[in-house]
Structure formats: structure tokens, C-alpha cells
Amino acid sequence: MEAMVIGGGVAGPVAAIALRRIGWGVTVCEAYADPAGDVGSFVSLGDNGLRALHAIGCRDAVAARGTALPLLRLRSGRGKLLGEAARGRVTLMRGHLVETLRDLALAAGARIVTGRRLTGADARTAAFADGSTATADLIVGADGIHSRLRAVIDPAAPVARFAGLWTVGGLSARPVEPGAFGIMFGARATMVSAPTAAGTLWAAQVPAARPPAGPVDRDAVAALFDGDRGPAAALVRSTQQWHPRTVMQAMPGGVPRWHRDGMVVLGDAAHPMGAGQGANLAVEDAVVLARCLRDAPAVDAALVRYEALRRPRTGKMLEVAGANRDAKVAGPLAARMRDAMMPFFFQRFAEKSGAWMYDYDVEWTTATTPAPAST
């Protein structure tokens, strides 16, 4: 059996590795020429994403490119500790994650073709911008938040929209509290920080009615944190390496249709998260898809199983991602409420309420069963 995977970001190479493990031939087609190396922003993989990588033998190689941070710590702009949880994660540059996953996919025997952009598809035949076409038993759309394959599967599919936050970040020489991934809810913006051997990775998440029109400048970003306690403003002012500005996008209602006729979407193409757990879910999706293809009698039956296994979890995560964004765009009154209530709720419920997110296991060795018939 042959799969064509569209997109060589996070979900694409993981799908390629997982499909090679069940004996499929795989070609990954990536629109851009290179994986981005040291540029781009950083991502964090939680226990759930790392567990999914472990299931296909990739955890150690990925973890070796990043920094393990055993704690998550939340503070208000006044310096108040809002919550702390032992939520292990590995933080690394997205470019390094992609590079490592592509190397692992190649080592597993997948083919990766770069500079090849999908423009359309029909009946398991993909068409590319260079005029070429190719046919496979399955076309996997791992082509991200603006997925072309999503629109091929369902021309009426909604498109992702600005989610009310933009973000910019960098690498700073200014140290922060060691061992903890920090989130500080400032008066005007949220600061996310991760101490690594190379320095402090940081990202400012800024609420706005519309994305900024032009380039953002260091002083303007630092000024967003003047008045907040803690190192946020100093982190910005001492930044040596800037990461590009990103606009958060989301599709709150979700993607109605994930598959048809041997074509399927996964990762951001199936459930644009904005940020948060997006890369973790992309990894989980790819492993579960391969598991279903391994066990089901035919490709289309496998896609039905895959959707039945993944919809409830990704739908719940979309709701959480929306609530997390709301916490970051809170007005002054809501922010005061958040700062007053969070210490109480976080300590009491964080462990329990986070368990469904972080304790999830892709269950690679367990056989999948047919999805219950819908009524």
C-alpha cells in the first residue's frame, strides 16, 4: 500500500514514520524547500505528545533536541503565584522538531520531496503546482491550518480566522526562574518563558482586534510589560535573536468533514488550535491514523475508525484552547477575577482536570475496533 502525505511539518513526518512501521510505502510532499532550521518559534511537547512519539520510537531523538522542564508555573502581572503544576514538557524550536522528524522519516524509509505544493486532488490522484500528478492508495493532508486538502475533501469547509492574539518572541540572555515553563498574565499581554541552555526562550502573546499591520518594534513590545512585575520587559529588551511575528488563527466550530474517497486530514488541517496543544495533537493523530490503517479491512473503514477515535478528544481540546485564549485577552475586570480565582481553582483542580489531556495514550499495541454505527 502507498500513501502520499501532503506537508512535511509536524504531523506529516510522524505519519510517514508510523505508516512505515505498518509496512506502507510513503512519499511526503512539502511545499517549501527547507525545514526552517533554527528559525521560527518554539513549541512544547507534553507527556501525551512525548508518549505518542515513544510509541513509534522517536521520543528520545526529539527530546535530545530540546529542554526538559518539570514544572508549569503561572503568575499574575503583580507577581502573584497563580498556580504551579508538575507538568513535564520538552521545549524546542519548531524548526528543530521538524528537522528531527524528517530525519527519522527518511531513516524509516520514507521519501521526502520538497518544493512540491499540492493544488488539487481527485480520486486518490494529487495535482501539484509544478504541473505533475501522482496517485496513491491514500492521500494524507498534513498541510496545516490553511490546508488545501481540507478544501478538496469539502469545498464548503470553513477557513481559519484571526483568533484575537498575535505573538512575537525570541531568545534572551536574561535568565528566568530555572526548571519551570512560565506563563505571566500581564496587564496588557501574556509572557511565556522557557529557560534553556542557550538562553531564555520567550513569547509575548498580545490581544488585538486585528493583526498588526507593519513590523513590531522592540521598545513597543517591551513597553507592553512595563508596569508588570518580573522579568518580562527585561527579557524583551535583552533579546539577541528575534523570532518572526505570528498571528494566532483558529476555527472555533471545527472542521465538519475529515475524510472522503481515500483522502484524510490530520493535525492543524483537521482541528486548527491556534497554539497550545496543536503539535501534540498532530503527533497523536498521525500515530492513531496508522494504527487504524493497520487494523481495518480497508482504507475507508480505517478513516471512519480514525475519526471516531480522534473527534471527541480534539473537540474537547478546541474548547480548552478557546478558553485559554480568552484568559489571555481578558479585560481589566475579568483579569482581576482571574487573578483572584485562579490560585484556588488551579491547585484544587489542575491535576484532575489536566489528566485527560496529558495522560492520554495512543495505545499503539492495542487493536482498534470498528466505530459504532452512527444513529
Ligand X SMILES: Cc1cc2nc3c(=O)[nH]c(=O)nc-3n(C[C@H](O)[C@H](O)[C@H](O)COP(=O)(O)OP(=O)(O)OC[C@H]3O[C@@H](n4cnc5c(N)ncnc54)[C@H](O)[C@@H]3O)c2cc1C
Write out the residues near ligand X by the rule CB under 6 A: 6-12, 29-32, 41, 43-44, 94, 117-118, 142-144, 148, 167, 246, 267-269, 273, 275, 277-280, 282
Nearest to 30 by CA among 145, 131, 111: 111
Q: Give the nearest distance from C-beta 250 to ligand X in angstroms.
A: 11
Nearest to 145 by CA among 43, 268, 249: 268
Nearest to 48 by CA among 358, 332, 310, 363: 358
Nearest to 325 by CA among 141, 138, 125, 161: 161
Q: Give the nearest distance from C-beta 128 to ligand X in angstroms.
A: 8
Neighbours of 39 (CB within 10 A): 14
DSSP β-bridge partners for residue 243:
169
Give the residue with the Cβ less far from ligand X, 193 or 280.
280
> Contact at 8 Å (CB) between 96 and 361?
no
Q: Give the nearest distance from C-beta 24 to ligand X in angstroms.
A: 18
Give the residue with the Cβ less far from ligand X, 6 or 180.
6
Q: What is the DSSP letter of 269?
A: G
Q: Give the nearest distance from C-beta 372 to ligand X in angstroms.
A: 27
Give the residue with the Cβ less far from ligand X, 286 or 339.
286
Q: Give the nearest distance from C-beta 12 to ligand X in angstroms.
A: 6
Q: Give the nearest distance from C-beta 135 to ligand X in angstroms.
A: 16
- Cα separation, 367 vs 266, whole angstroms: 20
* Residue-wise DSSP of 22-75: TT-EEEEEESSSS--TT-S-EEEEEHHHHHHHHHTT-HHHHHTTSEEE-EEEEE
Give the residue with the Cβ less far from ligand X, 41 or 368.
41
| Environment class of 217 (CB within 10 Å of its CB; exposed 0-12, middle 13-18, buried 19+) | exposed
Give the residue with the Cβ less far from ligand X, 12 or 83.
12
**C-alpha separations of 80 from 88, 186, 335, 347 in Å:** 22, 11, 13, 14
Give the residue with the Cβ less far from ligand X, 215 or 372.
215
Q: Give the nearest distance from C-beta 332 to ligand X in angstroms.
A: 25
Give the residue with the Cβ less far from ligand X, 339 or 362.
362
